Homo-oligomer: A and B are copies of this chain.
Amino acid sequence: MLDQKDNCHGIGSGNSEDHDTLTQVSTLSALLNGVYDGEVTLRELLSHGDFGIGTFDHLDGEMIILDGQVYQVKHDGTVIQPDLSLTTPFAVVTSFDIDEHHQLVSGTTFDRFERDEDTLLPTRNIFHAIRITGTFAKMVCRSIPRQSKPYPPLADVAKQESVFPFVDVEGTVVGFRCPQYVAGINLPGYHLHFISADKTAGGHVLDFTVGKAEVAVDYMPEFSMMLPQTDAFYASEMQHDKDADLGAIERDIPHDALVVMHRYL
C-alpha cells in the first residue's frame, strides 16, 4: 500500500526512481492518425522499464514487455521475440514493482475487473501499471496487420484485426490504467495486453473471464513522454488548433475514434 504518513505519499522527497514513472513514446492521437513509423528502439525502450505494452514499426502487431522480455504478437497470432534494434511508434513502459496486490474472484470479467479495480485504487488521478497473473477461463485477444505507406488511420486498420479466443489459458495480463485527463495523449482507463505462460499466444485484450488469478498494481505518480521528432508527427493534425478561440479547446477525438481506441487499441 501507499505510504500515507503525514498525509503525503512521497513526492518531492527525492525518490524519483524510474520505477514510479510511466514512460511513453509518442501520443495516442498521433497513432490514431497513422504515425506508425518506429521512433525508439526496443533497446532504448527497455532502458525505461521492464514491463509494458505498445506496437511496432509499421504497426506490426501487439507488444507485450514482461520481465524485461519483449514479445511481438503478429497478425497471424504467432509470437516472436523481436530483435532489440526494432523500433516502436507508440509504447508505454515502467519498471514494475508491486504496491498492492489481491486475488480476483473466479468469474471476474474484464468489465467487472475495471469497475471493481476503480473502486479499490486510492485514486484515479495518477497512473497505474496492472499485472494479472493466473488462469483465465476465457481470454479474447486480437492483433493487427503490418501496414505500408501511405499509412491509413488506425480506425481503418482496426477493421483488419485478427481475433484470438482462448479457453482455460494460463498467462499474464500486462497493461496500464491512465487518468481521464490523458485523453489525446494516452488511453483513459484500462489498456491491457496478454501473453500466455508458454509465450506462444497473446495480443491486445478485448475480453476475459478469470479462472484463478491475482492482480498486482504499481502506483505511478510520474509521467514521461518522448515525442517523435519526425515530419509525420510534426504535421499530424492532432487537434483543432487552427482556431485559437476558447471554444476550440475541446478534445478533437470524434466518437468513432474513441470507439476505436477502446475497442481496438
**Interface residues, chain A, CB within 8 Å of chain B?**
2, 7-12, 14, 16, 27, 29-30, 39-41, 44, 87, 114-115, 118, 122-127, 179-185, 188-189, 221-231, 233-236, 238-241, 244, 246-247, 249-253, 255, 258-259, 262
Copies assembled? 2
Complex Cα distance A228/B223, Å? Answer: 12
Chain B nearest CB from A228 CB (Å) reads 6
Contact at A244–B114, with CB atoms within 8 Å?
yes
Chain B nearest CB from A139 CB (Å) reads 21
Collect the chain B residues with CB atoms within 8 Å of residue A11's CB.
39-40, 226-229
Collect the chain B residues with CB atoms within 8 Å of residue A238's CB.
125, 179-181
Complex Cα distance A259/B245, Å? Answer: 10
Contact at A227–B222, with CB atoms within 8 Å?
yes
Chain B nearest CB from A186 CB (Å) reads 10
Contact at B188–A185, with CB atoms within 8 Å?
no
A-B contact pairs, 20 of them (CB 8 A): A11-B226, A12-B41, A12-B87, A12-B226, A30-B125, A123-B233, A125-B233, A126-B234, A180-B240, A181-B184, A183-B249, A188-B241, A221-B229, A223-B224, A224-B224, A224-B225, A246-B262, A247-B255, A249-B253, A250-B250
Contact at A239–B12, with CB atoms within 8 Å?
no
Chain B nearest CB from A184 CB (Å) reads 4
Chain B nearest CB from A68 CB (Å) reads 19
Q: Which of A180, A231, A235, A238 has the most CB of B within 10 A?
A: A180
Collect the chain B residues with CB atoms within 8 Å of residue A229's CB.
2, 8-11, 126, 221
Chain B nearest CB from A235 CB (Å) reads 7
Collect the chain B residues with CB atoms within 8 Å of residue A183's CB.
184, 249-251
